[in-house]
Amino acid sequence: MPKAVKNAPKDNETTVDEKPRETAVEFLASLVELLIIFLFVTTFLLQNFEIPTSSMEDTLLIGDHVFVNREQFAPPTHWVGPLMPYREIRRGDIVVFLSPEEPGLFVVKRIIGVPGDRIHLRDGAVYRNGEKLNEPYAQHKAGNYDPYRDNFPAVPPSEMYGITSQEWMSTLSSYIQGGDVVVPPNSYFGMGDNRDVSKDSRYWGFIPRGNVIGRPLLIYWSFITPPDQYLVHDAGDRLSFFAHVVIHFFDETRWSRTFRIVR
């Protein structure tokens, strides 16, 4: 009985090795690897943050969602030190930090003074170490005059100017030399770009170095958000706004701000 012979390929045909299909175990392993990388990045390198108030307009708007670099201002570590662009906080940097006045509240401001700097304001203009700053990012939208806010620290602080920090009211004078506030060691003087509405170092004091979380890098999404939305804690109201976001995702997303570098 003749043996069965497999069909040999014709001269004009070529054999192609099929790529083995990925098994379910290999697929799950790939997902786990991606999850580990994502968790590492979001835990140690980047953190997302939503801008809650208008104090940084027009640089950052209410409803801007940003990625914050957590490592740039962190103390260098031996195992990743050479790989990370660590540096000290500089004048002009925008930083996210824990509020010295309200525990647990994240705040974003621009660094105006570093340790040793002498700061004062005259008619809303900022002077640092005797020189008037050129601040193209600064906004004065309210248009009203406030003697404490616009001539800091010449006017003594009091509750009539919206200052709620009793500690700052009692200690501010100890930092004043020759009409300037002198920034102490391991501290920073921060202000919002929207100067007329920003509650900043003029109202609650210096930013401790240990409170700094990082520097905003990129706006990855921006959505039109009510000014008081960050104050809403009721579960029903928060769910209602989430539904609003889903319905109006396309028409109320500020697409022109997507992937904008923060400066």
For residues 93 and 111, is the Cβ–Cβ distance under 8 A? yes
Q: What are phi and psi of 218, to 5 degrees?
A: -150, 135
pLDDT above 60 (res 261): yes
Per CATH, the number for 46-261 is 2.10.109.10
Q: What is the mean pLDDT of the chain?
A: 86
Range with the poorest average pLDDT among 31-35, 143-147, 200-204, 253-257: 31-35
Q: Where are the domains of the chain?
A: 46-261
**How many angstroms separate the CA atoms of 97 and 105, rounded?**
8
> With bands split at pLDDT 50, 70 and 90, how would you rate the model's confidence at 5?
very low
150's CB contacts (< 8 A; 6+ apart) are 121, 122, 123, 124
**Beta strand 106-113 with 125-128: parallel, antiparallel or unpaired?**
unpaired
Type of residue found at 61: L
Q: Can you give the pTM of this predicted structure?
A: 0.81
pLDDT in tens, 158-178: 999 999 999 999 999 999 999
